[in-house]
């Protein structure tokens, strides 16, 4: 079944296809600025992009998808952090790049096939700016900076639907003294003393300095994926000006369509408002892990809403997500007992038959409707396992593991790092849960005592349980 996503340019849901002669689907999404840890709002977009990547690889084949995600390692914020910490730019960005990679791995996001950096593509950015200067789409300012002339691109604003009046208001305070028009944007920024040692040779006739933010993505796309890509994604906050500017500079330079499809993820709200440290509702992944939630539970919570609608994150949603994942894990255990053994990860024996999970797969392919897909999954889980006939069980087991793989869920990665229960403790918990379900409360109480003696508490929930180490206790290695 083809993957269909809303296209921000045409304003309609369209099937994703590749227009490339080699049949390889080219996919680019904007990555982080590596000056601090990414927050959970950033990771909502990255997790959703991960599901898109998994669906593309399922549909086209892993060898037919090429995914690029950039790292912005030079801009006002990264340079500002060097001044704050008194360290070279490379030391700052290396530190926060490593942290970003660790968080992505914890959230089970696939790494991109190529991850270019802005500093690694300075020559390509300079080359692109020189072409724009030659074509009359850019000009040099008196201070040695270079700006893109939006009047040279009549289609400007088509992606974001921004009007000329709004454009002038939005840009009125941005380097107006050096621009021919307040709407023009920087392709190259002349060096200033506060930039410290961070400067490079500029385009023809321009001063030493550094690239503007927008040009890096255009240059990386051109160098790695070609003049036209199949899909460009990012958060809705990047729609204007970043993506609008990418379209203008890329299409003026290359003379062809930049991206055949655009997809944007809506904002994450926290407790009904935007995240802010001053409001006390600003979270990075480590904050939530410190509160006792596993990264996989965070992933579930970030996916538990339609990507094109704002998602309101509250801590209570992590309790709900934890219970939902526990339920999925228990079903996985039960269905495998009745069906064929499955390897860890996505089943190699899937064979393309979705069985009772066909509606869930169709929902994922229909504009990434994750809430509807989860609803279909849990409707199957509501059926007693005994109602599955033999053939249906054989189909359902690998199909269930496959649909969970497309969502990036791992049932063996639910514990908070540092609190993973040993196998013997997990076996005791499973035995106690079975006794509790059978209403053998005497046995359940005895097993709870054994768990406590081993240093673990078992919290009962409606659809499962959670193991937690007893603070101050000694967790038995058993």
- % helix, strand, coil for the chain, step of 5: 50, 15, 35
Domain limits, the chain = 4-265, 281-413, 423-469
Q: What is the C-alpha end-to-end distance of the chain, expressed in Å?
A: 47
What lies within 8 Å, CB to CB, of 162 at 6+ separation is 170, 240, 244
Distance CA(15)–CA(27), nearest Å, equals: 14
What are the angstrom distances between the C-alpha of 78 and each of 13, 81, 193? 37, 5, 15
What lies within 8 Å, CB to CB, of 278 at 6+ separation is none
Place of tokens 């897909």: 373
pLDDT at 344: 38
Q: Please enumerate, as own/partner, the contacts of 99-104 that have beta carbons within 8 Å and a separation of 24 or more.
A: 99/37, 100/32, 100/34, 100/37, 100/38, 100/71, 103/37, 103/38, 103/43, 103/284, 103/285, 103/295, 104/46
Q: Minimal CA–CA distance to 96: which of 73, 79, 75?
A: 73
pLDDT at 348: 41
pLDDT at 97: 97
What lies within 8 Å, CB to CB, of 22 at 6+ separation is none
Burial of 50 (C-beta count, 10 Å sphere; 0-12/13-18/19+): buried
Rounded to 5 degrees, φ, ψ at 42 are: -60, -45
Distance CA(402)–CA(406), nearest Å, equals: 6
Distance CA(102)–CA(106), nearest Å, equals: 6
Distance CA(219)–CA(118), nearest Å, equals: 9
Q: ∠ CA 277-279-285 to the nearest 5 degrees?
A: 50
- What pTM, to 2 d.p., does this model score? 0.84
Distance CA(208)–CA(196), nearest Å, equals: 12
What lies within 8 Å, CB to CB, of 188 at 6+ separation is 126, 129, 145, 146, 202, 203, 206, 209, 210, 211, 212, 215
Distance CA(357)–CA(326), nearest Å, equals: 19
Q: Minimal CA–CA distance to 346: which of 395, 397, 388?
A: 397
3-state secondary structure of 212: coil
Query: Could you list the pLDDT tens digit for every one of the 478 residues in the chain?
Result: 899 999 999 999 999 999 899 999 999 999 999 999 999 999 999 999 999 999 999 999 999 999 999 999 999 999 999 999 999 999 999 999 999 999 999 999 999 999 999 999 999 999 999 999 999 999 999 999 999 999 999 999 999 998 755 666 555 544 556 788 888 999 999 999 999 999 999 999 999 999 999 999 999 999 999 999 999 999 999 999 999 999 999 999 999 999 999 999 999 999 999 998 889 899 999 999 999 899 999 999 999 999 999 999 999 999 999 999 989 988 887 776 555 444 433 334 456 789 899 999 999 999 999 999 999 999 999 988 777 776 677 788 889 989 999 999 987 556 555 555 666 777 788 889 888 888 888 998 999 898 888 888 888 866 567 777 665 444 443 3
Question: Is there a contact between 3 and 373 (Cβ–Cβ < 8 Å)?
Answer: no
Give 227's DSSP letter. Answer: S
Largest interatomic CA distance in the chain? 85
3-state secondary structure of 283: coil
**Looking at domain 4-265, what is its CATH homologous superfamily?**
HUPs (3.40.50.620)
Residue 226 corresponds to which tokens in the numbers above? 């070609």
- DSSP per-residue codes, 289-343: HHTT--HHHHHHHHHSS-TTS-EEE-HHHHHHHHHHHHHHHHHHHHHHHHS----
Question: Is there a contact between 327 and 463 (Cβ–Cβ < 8 Å)?
Answer: yes
pLDDT at 459: 80
């Amino acid at each position: 079944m083809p993957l269909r996503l809303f296209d921000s340019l045409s304003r309609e849901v369209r099937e994703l296809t590749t227009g490339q002669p080699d049949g390889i689907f080219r996919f680019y999404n904007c990555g982080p600025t590596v000056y601090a840890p990414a927050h959970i709002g950033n990771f909502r977009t990255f997790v959703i992009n991960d599901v898109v990547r998994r669906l593309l690889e399922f549909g086209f084949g892993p060898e037919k998808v090429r995914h690029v995600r950039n790292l912005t390692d030079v801009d006002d914020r990264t340079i500002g952090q060097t001044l704050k910490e008194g360290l070279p730019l490379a030391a700052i960005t290396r530190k926060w790049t490593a942290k970003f990679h660790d968080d992505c791995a914890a959230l089970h996001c696939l790494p991109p096939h190529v991850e270019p950096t802005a500093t690694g593509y300075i020559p390509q950015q300079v080359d692109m700016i020189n072409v724009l200067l030659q074509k009359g789409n850019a000009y040099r300012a008196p201070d040695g900076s270079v700006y893109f002339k939006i009047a040279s691109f009549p289609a400007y604003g088509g992606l974001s639907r921004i009007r000329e009046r709004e454009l002038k208001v939005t840009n009125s305070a941005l380097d107006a003294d050096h621009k021919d028009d307040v709407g023009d944007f920087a392709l190259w920024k002349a060096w200033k003393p506060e930039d410290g040692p961070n400067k490079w040779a500029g385009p023809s006739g321009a001063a030493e300095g550094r690239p503007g933010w927008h040009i890096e993505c255009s240059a990386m796309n051109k160098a790695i994926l070609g003049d036209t890509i199949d899909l460009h994604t990012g958060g809705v906050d990047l729609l204007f000006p970043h993506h609008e500017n990418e379209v203008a500079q890329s299409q003026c330079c290359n003379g062809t369509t930049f991206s055949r499809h655009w997809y944007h993820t809506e904002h994450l709200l926290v407790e009904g408002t935007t995240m802010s440290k001053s409001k006390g509702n600003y979270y990075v992944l480590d904050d939530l892990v410190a509160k006792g939630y596993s990264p996989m539970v965070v992933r579930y919570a970030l996916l538990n809403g339609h990507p094109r609608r704002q998602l309101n994150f509250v801590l209570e949603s992590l309790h709900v997500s934890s219970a939902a994942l526990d339920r999925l894990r228990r079903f996985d255990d039960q269905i495998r007992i009745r069906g064929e053994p499955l390897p860890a990860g996505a089943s190699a024996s899937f064979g393309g038959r979705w069985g009772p999970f066909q509606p869930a797969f169709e929902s994922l392919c229909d504009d990434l409707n994750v809430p509807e897909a989860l609803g279909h999954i849990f409707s199957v889980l509501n059926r007693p396992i005994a109602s599955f006939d033999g053939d249906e069980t054989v189909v359902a087991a690998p199909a269930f593991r496959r649909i969970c793989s497309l969502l990036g869920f791992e049932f063996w990665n639910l514990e908070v790092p540092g609190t993973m229960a040993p196998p013997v403790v997990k076996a005791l918990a499973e035995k106690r849960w079975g006794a509790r379900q059978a209403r053998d409360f005497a046995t359940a109480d005895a097993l709870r005592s054994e768990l406590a003696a081993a240093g673990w508490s078992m919290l009962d929930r409606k659809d499962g349980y959670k193991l937690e180490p007893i603070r101050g206790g000694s967790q038995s290695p058993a």
